[in-house]
Amino acid sequence: MARLVMKFGGTSVANIERIRNVAAHVRREVEAGYQVAVVVSAMSGKTNELVGWVQESSKIYDPREYDAVVASGEQVTSGLLALVLQEMGIPARSWQGWQVPVLTSDAHGSARIESIDPARLNASFANGEVAVIAGFQGMHAQTGRLTTLGRGGSDTSAVAVAAAIGAERCDIYTDVDGVYTTDPRVVPKARKLDKVSFEEMLEMASLGSKVLQVRSVEIAMLHKVRTFVRSSFDDPADPRPGTLICEEEEIVEQQVVTGIAFSKDEAQITLRRVADKPGVAAAIFGPLADQNINVDMIIQVVSGQTVSGQTGNGEAMTTDMTFTVQAADYERAMALLTKLKPEIAYQAIEGATDVVKISAIGVGMRSHAGVAARAFRALAEKGVNIRAITTSEIKFSVLIDKDYTELAVRTLHSLYGLDKVA
Ligand code: ADP
Ligand code: ASP
Ligand code: MG
C-alpha cells in the first residue's frame, strides 16, 4: 500500500473543532487507500506559552528541562487527534517522538534528527492504524532524554518520517494555501506559486519565510521527498494541491526572482577604527565562532583615519568593521567584543537591533546580471538607506531600518514583477 505523511501546524489543530476538521482530511486519504502517518504541532500559541513558563521559572534554564516542558504541546494534540479519529471509526494511535523512536543529537532546543527506525510504525500500519506522531520531539539515544527540534520543527519531523517510511508524498497543511512569492500577510499582492525549487525554498526558509523550517527543506532535498504546502482550511472533500517543492528542472516557467523574504531576527554591530592589519578579522570573528555566534553579513570600510585619529604621520590606517548576528545572540556578542577591546584594539563599538534583512531569491540570478543593482536603485528612490549588502549565487540581501520593512518588501516585490494581477 502507498504511504502518505500529513502534517498539521498549530492553527490547524487550535481546538477540538479544528482537530475534527483535520480528522476529515485524514479520513479522505485513508479512504483513498493510503497508509497514513499524521504529524501534528501543538495548538497555536501553546509552545510560546510553554517557553514563557520556562523563562519565568529559571533565568538561565537547563535546556533538557526546557525540552521536557515545550515538547508537551505536541503530546496533547497527538492524543486528541487519535481520539477524534477513533471516534470516527478510524483505528489510530498516538506516538511520542521517543516511542517511534525519532533519535536526535543532544543539542537540546535545536536537536537534529539522526535516525528514525520505521519498524514500529510499519507494524502499526500492518494493524490498519493511522499513526499520529507528535512533531517537534525526539530523543537522544545515549542519555534517553527528550529533545526538541527548534521552532517550527514539526515540518522537519514530517519530512523525516516521510523519508523513513518511504512515503509517496509529504503534505504540509497550514493556514495558507501554499508558498507565496512573499509572506501574504504582509503583501496582499503576493502570488501563490504552483512549484518552487528545493534550492529556492531552502534560501527562502533560511532568510526568514517561516512557512517551512529550513531543516525540513534540506531533508526533502536530500531524500527527494515530494513535499506539498497546502491549506487545512480547504474543504476536506475537495482540497487544492497547494505548492510542490521540487527539482528545478520540473519548473517550466522560470522567473529571475522567485520570492522575497525578510527577517527581523537580526542585529548589527559596528567596531569603529580597528587597526587595519593582518589577523584583525580573525581576532574579531574567531572568538565569536568559538561561542557559537553566527556572523552573517560583513562589511569592512577603510575609515581614512589612523588609530590616533590623525593622518599622514606614518601610522597605520584603521578600518570600520560592520557585521550582523542573530538578534538572540546580540547581547552575548556585544559583551564578548567589549571584553576583547584591548586584544582587538578598536576605538568604539556600536550596535543596533532595529534592523531587518530583506532578501530576493531566484535561480534565474545565475544567468542574469544586474539583478541586485536594480533593487539598490529602487530602494534609493524610496529613500530607504542600505546598511549592509550580501550576495550569493541565487540571492542577495540588504540590511535596512526595521521601519521600512513593508515599504522595501513591496518595492522589491513589484520591481521583479511578482505582484498578483488584479
Ligand atoms: P504552521 O503553524 O502551520 O506551521 P507557520 O505559522 O509556521 O504555520 O507558517 C505559516 C505562515 O508562514 C503563514 O501564515 C505566513 O504568514 C508565513 N509565511 C511567511 N512567508 C511565506 C511565504 N513566502 N509563503 C507562505 N507563507 C509564508
Ligand atoms: N510547536 C512547535 C513550535 O511552535 C513546533 C511547530 O509548530 O512546528 O515551534
Ligand atoms: Mg510552522
The percentage of residues in the chain with a pLDDT greater than 70, rounded to a whole number, is 98
Measured in Å, residue 142 CA sits from the centre of ligand 2 at 25
Nearest ligand to the CA atom of 41 = 2
Nearest one of 4, 3, 23 to 13, comparing CA atoms: 23
Alpha carbon separation from 64 to 42, 61, 82, 252, 291 (Å, rounded): 19, 9, 27, 47, 20
Q: In degrees rounded to 5, what are phi and psi of residue 74?
A: -75, -25
**CA–centroid distance for 77 within its chain:** 22
Residue 317's pLDDT is 83
Residue 226's pLDDT is 96
Cα separation, 133 vs 127, in Å, equals 16
| Identity at 418, one-letter amino acid code | L
Measured in Å, residue 112 CA sits from the centre of ligand 3 at 17
Confidence tier at 304 by pLDDT (50, 70, 90): confident
| pLDDT above 80: residue 308 | no
Domain spans, the chain: 3-251, 254-422
Segment holding 102, helix H or strand E: strand 102-104
| Identity at 366, one-letter amino acid code | R
| Average model confidence (pLDDT) across the chain | 95
Confidence tier at 311 by pLDDT (50, 70, 90): low
| pLDDT above 80: residue 313 | no
User: What is the spatial order of strands in the sheet that 227-231 belongs to?
Assistant: 92-95, 130-134, 35-40, 3-8, 169-174, 227-231, 243-246, 195-197
**Contacts of 237 by beta carbon, 8 Å cutoff, 6+ apart:** 28
Residue 302's pLDDT is 81
Measured in Å, residue 42 CA sits from the centre of ligand 3 at 10
Cα separation, 402 vs 327, in Å, equals 13
Measured in Å, residue 209 CA sits from the centre of ligand 1 at 7
DSSP 239: -
Mean pLDDT of 105-113: 96
Mean pLDDT of 291-307: 85
Cα separation, 41 vs 10, in Å, equals 5
| pLDDT above 70: residue 106 | yes
pTM of the model: 0.93
pLDDT tens-digit profile of 139-182?
A: 999 999 999 999 999 999 999 999 999 999 999 999 999 999 99
**Contacts of 337 by beta carbon, 8 Å cutoff, 6+ apart:** 269, 271, 284, 288, 344, 349
Nearest one of 66, 73, 363 to 198, comparing CA atoms: 363
Q: Is the CB of 97 under 6 A from ligand 2?
A: no
Q: Is the CB of 173 under 6 A from ligand 2?
A: no
Residue 310's pLDDT is 63
Mean pLDDT of 303-317: 68
pLDDT tens-digit profile of 321-361?
A: 999 999 999 999 999 999 999 999 999 999 999 999 999 99
- Measured from the CA of 12, which atom of ligand 1 is nearest? 3
pLDDT tens-digit profile of 176-188?
A: 999 999 999 999 9
pLDDT tens-digit profile of 14-64?
A: 999 999 999 999 999 999 999 999 999 999 999 999 999 999 999 888 999
Q: Rounded to the nearest 10 degrees, how much is the dihedral formed by the CA atoms of 22, 28, 29, 33?
A: 150
Architecture label for domain 254-422 = 2-Layer Sandwich (3.30)
Mean pLDDT of 107-118: 96
Measured in Å, residue 135 CA sits from the centre of ligand 2 at 8
Q: Is the CB of 154 under 6 A from ligand 2?
A: yes
Angle formed at CA 313 by CA 312 and CA 319, multiple of 5 degrees: 65
Mean pLDDT of 267-273: 96
- Three cell numbers written together for 202: 531552502
| pLDDT above 80: residue 128 | yes
Superfamily holding 3-251? Acetylglutamate kinase-like (3.40.1160.10)
User: What is the spatial order of strands in the sheet that 259-275 belongs to?
Assistant: 295-306, 317-326, 259-275, 348-361, 395-401, 388-392
pLDDT tens-digit profile of 221-231?
A: 999 999 999 99
Q: Which tops the pLDDT comparison, 278 or 17?
A: 17
Confidence tier at 293 by pLDDT (50, 70, 90): very high
Nearest ligand to the CA atom of 39 = 2
Alpha carbon separation from 411 to 54, 182, 316, 360 (Å, rounded): 40, 12, 42, 11
Residue 44's pLDDT is 98
Residue 400's pLDDT is 97
Nearest one of 6, 22, 12 to 42, comparing CA atoms: 12
Cβ 260 vs Cβ 418: under 8 Å: yes
DSSP 161: H
Ligand 1 residue neighbourhood (C-beta within 6 Å): 9-12, 41, 152, 174-176, 179-180, 182-185, 209-211, 259
pLDDT tens-digit profile of 368-400?
A: 989 999 999 999 999 999 999 999 999 999 999
Nearest ligand to the CA atom of 74 = 2
Residue 147's pLDDT is 98
Segment holding 270, helix H or strand E: strand 259-275
| pLDDT above 90: residue 135 | yes
Three-class SS state of 115: strand
The best mutation among 7, 41, 77 to test binding of ligand 2, ranked by most ligand atoms within 8 Å of the C-beta, falls on 41
Residue 254's pLDDT is 79
Residue 368's pLDDT is 92
User: In the chain, count of helices (H) and strands (E)?
Assistant: 13, 18
